[in-house]
Amino acid sequence: MKKISYKKIIYSFIGITLIAIIVLIYLGRVDPVLKTTQTELHFGEKEARQLLTLKNIGEKKWRYLSYVKTLYYEVDITRGGEWISIPLRSGTCERHEEKQITVTVNRDMLSEGINQGEILVKSNGGNKTIRIVAIGIKEEKILRILNPSDNAALTIDEQITIQWSATPNISNYADIFLLKNGFVVENIARSYHYRNDTRSNGRFTWTPKSPLRPGEEKYAIKIVDISDREVFGLVSSLRIVSPLTKLFLKNITTAHQKPSTIQFVFSLRDQDDHAVLIDPANFDMNNLKIWENDKKIDYLESNPYLYRQDDFCLQVMLVLDFSASIKMYRNGVETMVVGANSLIDHLKDTHQIGIVEFHRPDAAPSIIQPFTTHKQKAREEILNFSQKNIYSDFSICWDAVYHGLKQFPEEPDPKTFRTLVFISDGFDNSSLRQPEDLISLANKRDVHIYSIGLGKVRKDEILENISGKTGGTYIRAEDIRVFLERFKQIIIDLGGQYKTSYITPKKPEDGIFTTKSEISYKGITGVPSLEDKVDPYHIFGKTNQGILSFDVSPLGDEENAEVFVWCEHVPRYINKFRFHLKTDKPYTITLVPENNGGICEEWNIIKEADGWYLLSSPNPNDLSYDLKFGRSGIICKINLEEIKEEQTEISFLLDNTVYHLGQAFYGREYPETDRNKIWQETIIISRQRKP
C-alpha cells in the first residue's frame, strides 16, 4: 500500500485556498460610484467662488474579502468656459472620501442678466452634470477724481499729484484737461496709460505754469475715459494761487510746562492771510531752528517737535443761524446744514464738536449738541433741529456767540486748540451782549473766532474786528450760492494751527534765559520768530517722569463714551504701558492712528489673566521702536458702553514696576504712587443734557 504524502496534501490545500481567495477577491471588487453633493451652483449677484464636493459612495459586498475601486475623475466645462474657471480639473477619490473642487466665476465677464453654464464630472463611477448660474449686473461706469478736491488751491510752479479711481469696466487710458468756463485751456495729458490692471487708481503729477494767473477766476480739472467720452470725472471751483512769498506766525501763545518743556502754539498764514498747511513730506527738522541765549540747542538731546493740528485736540463750537435773515435765502438753511456737516467731516476722532443755535430774540440761544467726539450724533442733532417747524425772527447773533464761548472750559489747555465758527450779516439789534463782550470772553478762554459775513453785510469792520482780535479769520460770502465755497475756506484755515515743543536742559540755578525759534517752509522764513524769556524755576522737572492725562467729552443723551488717554511727556526708553480699569461698564481699548494724534499705532495690546492690559512696542528689545523722548500724543482710546448715570467714575491704574531705569508715569495734578508703584486716577464722565 502506497504511503500517503501529507506534505502534498497540505500544499494542495493551500493552493486551492489561495486560488479560492483570489477568485473571491476578484469577484468582490466593487466599482466606485460618483456622487456630488450639489447639482447646481448658484452664484447670485455677488459671489465669485464656490466649492463643488465629490464623493465615492461605492459599498463593499462583504466585510473582509471585498473593496471599492478608486474613483478617477475629470472635470470639463461644457458651457460658459469664458466666465467659469476650475484650477484643478482631475484627481482621485477613495471610498467615502470627499474632494472639493473650486469653481470660480469671473464677474467682469458676465453678461447682464442670468448667465447659465455647465460643468461635466466624468469618472469611472459615472458622470454628473452640474448647472452653473450667475446673475450679471450692469456696472455703472464711474471715474472719480480723489485729488485735488473741489475749491482746492493750485499753486503756480508747485507740483500737484492728480489722483483718481475708476471702475474695472472702463479702459486704462484717459485724457486730462484743465478747463476755464467750460473750455479747455490746457491739455494736461493725452491717452495717458494709468494702470495695467482693472483695479488700480490713477496718478499723474502736474505743475501749473504761467500764463495761468492767480485771481478769482475758477478752473476745473476733467479726466475723460478715452474709450467712452461720456465717462469722466470733474473737480471744479479750483483757484490758481501765487507761490508762497510770505509766511506769518500769528496768534502766538506760550505753553511752557513741567517737566522742562518749552512750547509755543501759533497759526501759520500766507501773504493772503490764509492758513498754510504744511506737507510733512516737505518739512523736516532743518525747517525748525532753536536757540537758547543765542546758541543753538542740541537737537539730538532736546528732541524738538512740530505738531500739526491733527496731533493735538481741537474743540469747535459751531453757532448756526436759523433766524429770518437765513431763511430769506432760497435753500439757505439747507446750505448752512451742508456747510456744517462738511466741517464735521473734516474733524479727527479726537476733535470735539459742539452746536449752538439761535432763531429769535424771545427764545434764548440753545445748545443743540454739547461738545462731543461723536460726530454722527452731532450731524443727527443738526438735521433734527433744521427740520423743526420754528418761528424765526430777528437776529441775536452776539448773544448766541457769547453763549457758545461760555461752553469752553475756563482754564486754557496746551494740548487743545479752541475755536468758534459763526455766520452773520453784521447786524444785530436784539442781543444783550455786544462785540466787545465776545472779544473779551474769547481772549480769556483762549478761543479763536472765525466768522463768515453773509449777503449784504451791514458792517464788515465789526466782524473783521472780532476775528482779528481773537486770532481767527473773517471771510465774506456775497450770497448763499458762494457760501459753501467760503465755508470750506474757513475749514482750511482751521487746519493752520501748530505747536512747537522741546525739552530744555536749563536748571533753576541757570537763571532766566532767552529761547528763540524760527520756522521756515518752502524757502520762506516765518515772521516773527518765536521768542520768550523763561525762568526755568517755574517749569523745571525730572524728565524721567512721564505725565498722563485724560480727554473726556461730556455725554449728551447717548450711552457710549470715548476717553482718550494722553501722554503729555514721554521719558526715554519707553516701550510698554501696563494698566487696569476698575469699572462694571463694558469697554474696549483701541489704538489711535498716527494721523489722528496717536503715538502707539503699531503697538500690541494683550489682556492678561488678571484683567490688566499690557501695551507694548512691536519689538521691546529694539530701541528704535521706543517712544521718542519728549513726545506727546494719544496712547489709546477707551470706549465705554451702557452709561445711564448722570455721572460715572472709572479708576485707571498704571503699573510703574515695568520700568527699571527710574522712569514713572503720573498725572500732572497728583504726581505720586502707592507702595506698589501703582499710580491711580479717577476718570469722571459727566452727562450734559440739552436744555
What average pLDDT does range 541-559 have in this prediction?
Answer: 87
Average predicted confidence (pLDDT) for the chain: 86
d(CA 455, CA 674) in angstroms, rounded, equals 62
As a whole-number percent, the residues of the chain with pLDDT over 90 amount to: 41
Given a contact cutoff of 8 angstroms between Cβ atoms, the answer to whether 202 and 166 are in contact is yes
For residue 229, the 8-state DSSP code is T
Calpha distance 307→597 (Å, rounded): 9
Long-range Cβ contacts of 253-256 (<8 Å, 24+ apart): 253/412, 253/446, 254/532, 255/412, 255/414, 255/499, 256/532, 256/534, 256/538, 256/539
Name which of 24, 25, 29 is nearest 58 in CA terms.
29
CA nearest to 385, candidates 457, 333, 438: 333
Q: Is residue 658 predicted with pLDDT exceeding 90?
A: yes
Adjacency order of strands within the sheet including 218-225:
153-155, 232-241, 218-225, 173-180, 183-193
Average pLDDT (538-551) is 93
pLDDT for 427 beyond 60? yes
Distance CA 34, CA 50 (A): 20
Rg (C-alpha) for the chain, rounded Å, is 36
Strands 183-193 and 173-180: antiparallel
Other residues' Cβ atoms within 10 Å of the Cβ of residue 300: 7
How far apart are the C-alpha atoms of 231 and 416, rounded to whole Å?
A: 45
- DSSP letter, residue 453: E
Which CA distances in Å does 555 have to 350, 392, 559, 636, 644?
A: 15, 29, 8, 19, 10
Angle at 27 between CA 22 and CA 28, to 5 degrees: 95
Evaluate if residue 64 carries a pLDDT over 80: no
Going by pLDDT thresholds of 50, 70 and 90, the confidence category of residue 204 is very high
Residues 6+ positions from 126 with CB-CB distance below 8 Å: 33, 34
Mean pLDDT of the region 185-212: 89
Q: Which pLDDT score, from 0 to 100, does residue 480 have?
A: 65
| Separation of alpha carbons 181 and 54, rounded Å | 65
Specify the higher pLDDT residue, 309 or 39: 39
pLDDT band at 89 (very low <50, low <70, confident <90, very high): confident
Q: Which residue did the predictor score with more confidence, 335 or 202? A: 202
> Residue 7 — pLDDT band, cuts 50, 70, 90?
low
Mean pLDDT for the stretch of residues 605-630 = 92
Cα gap 650→680, rounded to integer Å: 10
Residues 539-564: what's their mean pLDDT?
88
**For residue range 90-125, what is the model confidence (pLDDT) as tens digits?**
889 988 888 888 999 988 788 888 999 999 999 998
Lowest mean pLDDT segment, chosen from 62-66, 473-477, 571-575: 62-66
**pLDDT of 36 above 70:** yes
Q: In terms of Cα–Cα distance, which of 272, 146, 154, 157 is closest to 219?
A: 154
Q: Report the pLDDT value the prediction gives residue 328, as an integer from 0 to 100.
A: 77
Tell me the mean pLDDT in the region 194-207.
Answer: 88
Say which residues have a Cβ less than 8 Å from residue 266's Cβ, sequence separation at least 6: 249, 250, 251, 252, 253, 497, 498, 499, 500, 530
Of 462 and 10, the structure prediction assigns the larger pLDDT to 462
Which comes out higher in pLDDT, residue 330 or 140? 140
- For 1-131, where are the alpha helices, taking DSSP H only? 6-28
Give the pLDDT score at 690. Answer: 63
Dump pLDDT digits (tens) for 304-359. Answer: 999 887 777 888 999 988 888 777 777 778 888 888 888 888 888 888 899 998 88
| Residue 381, phi then psi, degrees to nearest 5 | -65, -40
* pLDDT at residue 23 tops 80: no
Q: How confident is the model at residue 16 (pLDDT cuts 50, 70, 90)?
A: low
pLDDT value for 337: 83
**Angle subtended at Cα 190 by Cα 188 and Cα 195, rounded to the nearest 5 degrees:** 105
Q: State mean pLDDT over 65-94.
A: 86
Residue 189: its pLDDT value, please?
Answer: 94
Indicate if the pLDDT at residue 660 is higher than 70.
yes
Q: Would you state the pLDDT for residue 1?
A: 46
Kindly state the average pLDDT of the residues 421-433. Answer: 80
Cell of 99: 474632494
User: Residue 497 and residue 306: Cα distance in Å, rounded?
Assistant: 11
Q: What is the pLDDT of residues 582-593, one digit of tens each?
A: 999 999 999 998
- Averaged pLDDT for residues 21-48: 77
Q: Which three cell numbers stand for residue 127?
A: 458622470
Residues 132, 137, 141, 145, Cα dihedral to 10°: -90
More confident residue, 187 or 411: 187
Amino acid 395: pLDDT: 79
Whole-angstrom Cα distance, residue 300 to residue 594?
Answer: 22
Q: Which of 65-69, 136-140, 324-328, 348-352 is modeled with the greatest confidence?
A: 348-352
